[in-house]
A and B are shown apart, each in its own frame.
Chain A
Amino acid sequence: DVQVLESGGGLVPRGGSLRLSCEASGLIFKSLWVHWVRQAPGKGLVWVSRTNSDGSDTTFTDSVRGRFTTWRDNAKNTAYLQMKDLRAEDTGLYYCAIGYKYYFDNWGQGALVTVSS
């Protein structure tokens, strides 16, 4: 069975930093793209970023570019999202979604990030 597990969420003050991890099993992680998607409480989905299979190609949505970075360690089947200069609007459940460049079919259950103001 495929499993995708996010970790590292928590409460962080405005302007602070946090790093999320996404560990996958049951799929060929090194061949797949990793996306991060967030969802504020009671709100819709927002695509945040993606990285290609070897980590050489990353893209971010405008609102986080320059503050967030993402990379992966294929030997550990793990991807990371480093978030800096966090804002209240960054609060939400962060999903790791694994798949392809333009769609993703394996999602974790999410890691909750709360930015206190």
Chain B
Amino acid sequence: SSELTQDPAVSVALGQTVRITCQGDSLRNYYACWYQQKPGEAPLLVIYGENNRPAGIPDRFSGSRSGNTASLTITGAQAEDDGDYYCNSRDSSGNQLLFGGGTKLTVL
């Protein structure tokens, strides 16, 4: 299929570890990247490629992939990590990009 599926909402206690997942057939062949979006702001790239962080992104953010699932892990979640997270990858044809539906992360 040409869809990327994310859980709508996830919560994590402050300082704990959380994994946000993204499922899709295309992920068997292509890496996902991850964007964080806070209310009223443009998205921010946090992970790209196999597991790369743009400059300025804390190392508590990491990415991985297994089978048809890509994951974004935040190790030691902070209050400022609260927000929406979107995965993005190629579709099954490899020609187009698509986003997952987004996961709202709440840091308790």
Contact = CB atoms under 8 A, between A and B. Distances in A.
Interface stretch (A23-31, A66-74, A84-92, A103-111): A103-111
Interface residues of B, number: 24
A103 B47 CA distance: 9
Interface in B60-108: 84, 86, 88-90, 95-102
Contacts of B97: 35, 47, 50, 102
B54 to A, nearest CB: 5
A75 B33 CA distance: 30
Contacts, number: 54
Contacts of A103: 33, 45, 48-49, 88
B50 to A, nearest CB: 12
A103 B101 CA distance: 17
Contacts of B102: 44-45
B45 A44 contact: no
Interface in B13-36: 30, 33, 35
Interface of B: 30, 33, 35, 37, 42-45, 48-49, 54, 84, 86, 88-90, 95-102
27 contacts: A35-B97, A37-B99, A44-B101, A44-B102, A45-B99, A45-B102, A47-B88, A47-B96, A47-B99, A59-B95, A60-B96, A61-B98, A62-B96, A99-B45, A102-B30, A102-B33, A102-B48, A102-B97, A103-B33, A103-B49, A103-B88, A104-B45, A105-B45, A105-B48, A105-B54, A108-B42, A109-B42
